[in-house]
Amino acid sequence: MGFFSKVKEKFVGKSAKQNDKYVAGLDRSNTTFSDRINELAARFREINDEYFEELENILIMSDVGVSMVMKIVAEIKNEVRLQNITNPKEINEIIVDKMFVIYANDSVMTTKINYADEGLTVILMVGVNGAGKTTTIGKLANRITKDEGKKVMVAAGDTFRAGAIDQLAVWANRVGVEIVKGNEGGDPSAVVFDALKQAKEKNVDVLICDTAGRLQNKVNLMKELEKMNRIIKREVPDAPHETLLVIDATTGQNGVSQAVEFSKITDVTGLVLTKMDGTAKGGIVLSIKDQLNLPVKFIGLGEQVDDLQEFDLDQYIYGLCKNLVEE
Ligand SMILES: Nc1nc2c(ncn2[C@@H]2O[C@H](COP(=O)(O)OP(=O)(O)OP(=O)(O)O)[C@@H](O)[C@H]2O)c(=O)[nH]1
């Protein structure tokens, strides 16, 4: 069964609680993407080169990324020829299937957090300022505490940005986890070292470390992350278990380029796409996959504490293509 049929069978007419969050959070993307494709089908009597050009534009406007768009459209053309389809109204299923078959191909699809087999799990959060790192750490700490029953601690390793420490402290307080912090302008690795020591003493299960996001000063940032990684490894040899890169989905292709830069600086193990509810260009998930081949582990679908959702490909497809699937 193709993605299209699978998603249709799974979600249409049903209302699972988590699914509602995806549908609401991706509403703007769905309207831009699905409605434009439906509108295109209504305008063309038959599928021709012009139709495909417009389809390419819709995909590009949804932030799918040019090289990915070319691959997807080539696949769609091929399938249309094979099935001998000429009516644009019959193409929805093929569009949805091809987009996601390409996404899922050769993919590292694990969305689960890689926890340590035993002892302390260390998660390092990286990303440029304003991407939503602090908010994500708060939401993630809450998820891990409430859903998995683990004891979480956070380390205020962004000593560079004014206010970052206080902001993280507010979140820690809100979700009821302990925070280890140093002074603004201090050595972030010292904070992390301190946090590692305390986490081990207090039998913490998961330590989430904030870091500064000065991508414009790449050499310093690289040195800082290297030092932090060295200290973490010295204390917990198989750590960090995850280095999650936080990207603001509303920054579109710029966010994708930042992600590429970050992945050159440090070993990223997964992505968190924030503010998906604030963009009409939900296709960024596909573009990132194409350029980085890293799994999207979480997506931010709002500002509330429970708006960070584990990335689920089926729910994402349904959210993005709702009006196509339900046509
Ligand atoms: N709508 C929406 N807003 C979000 C989401 N994630 C974060 N935000 C908001 O984005 C803004 C910036 O997020 P912060 O966590 O404060 O990011 P920052 O502290 O500026 O920068 P860093 O922590 O360095 O990334 C805040 O107003 C958050 O509430 C999301 O998934 N959806």
Give the domains, in start order, of the chain with CATH numbers: 17-108+320-325 (1.20.120.140), 121-312 (3.40.50.300)
Q: How confident is the model at residue 236 (pLDDT cuts 50, 70, 90)?
A: very high
- 57: CA distance to ligand 1 center in Å? 30
Whether residue 189 has pLDDT greater than 80 = yes
Any alpha helices (H) in the chain, and if so which ranges?
A: 3-11, 17-25, 27-43, 49-61, 66-83, 92-104, 133-148, 164-175, 188-201, 218-235, 252-265, 284-292, 313-325
| Three-state DSSP class for residue 274 | strand
pLDDT of residue 121: 98
Whether residue 208 has pLDDT greater than 60 = yes
Ligand 1 atom with the smallest distance to the CA of 167 is: 19
- Rounded average pLDDT over 210-232: 89
Q: How confident is the model at residue 106 (pLDDT cuts 50, 70, 90)?
A: low
Ligand 1 atom with the smallest distance to the CA of 135 is: 15
- Rounded average pLDDT over 139-166: 94
CB count, 10 Å around CB of 260? 12
Contacts of 201 (CB under 8 A, 6+ apart): none
32-78 pLDDT, tens digit per residue, is 888 999 999 999 999 999 999 999 999 998 888 888 899 999 999 99
- Rounded average pLDDT over 282-290: 85
- Rounded average pLDDT over 304-311: 90
Site of tokens 């703007």: 28
CA–CA separation, 143 and 9 (whole Å) = 29
Structure tokens at 152: 């979480």
Side-chain-side CA neighbours of 125 within 13 Å: the count stands at 30
- Rounded average pLDDT over 236-263: 92
Ligand 1 and 295: CB distance under 6 A = no
- Which residue among 258, 303, 311 is best mutated to probe the pocket of ligand 1, counting the most ligand atoms within 8 A of its Cβ? 303
- Rounded average pLDDT over 225-231: 95
Q: What value does the mean pLDDT of the chain take? A: 90
Ligand 1 and 133: CB distance under 6 A = yes
- 171: CA distance to ligand 1 center in Å? 12
Q: How confident is the model at residue 229 (pLDDT cuts 50, 70, 90)?
A: very high
Which one, of 204, 210, 165, 169, lies nearest residue 184 by Cα? 165
- Rounded average pLDDT over 158-169: 91
CA 39 centroid distance within chain: 29
Whether residue 161 has pLDDT greater than 60 = yes
Provide the percentage of residues in the chain whose pLDDT is more than 90.
54
Q: Is 130 annotated as a binding residue?
A: yes
Amino acid at 217: N
Ligand 1 and 255: CB distance under 6 A = no
pLDDT of residue 90: 87
254-265 pLDDT, tens digit per residue, is 888 888 988 888
- 106: CA distance to ligand 1 center in Å? 32
Which one, of 155, 163, 203, lies nearest residue 179 by Cα? 155
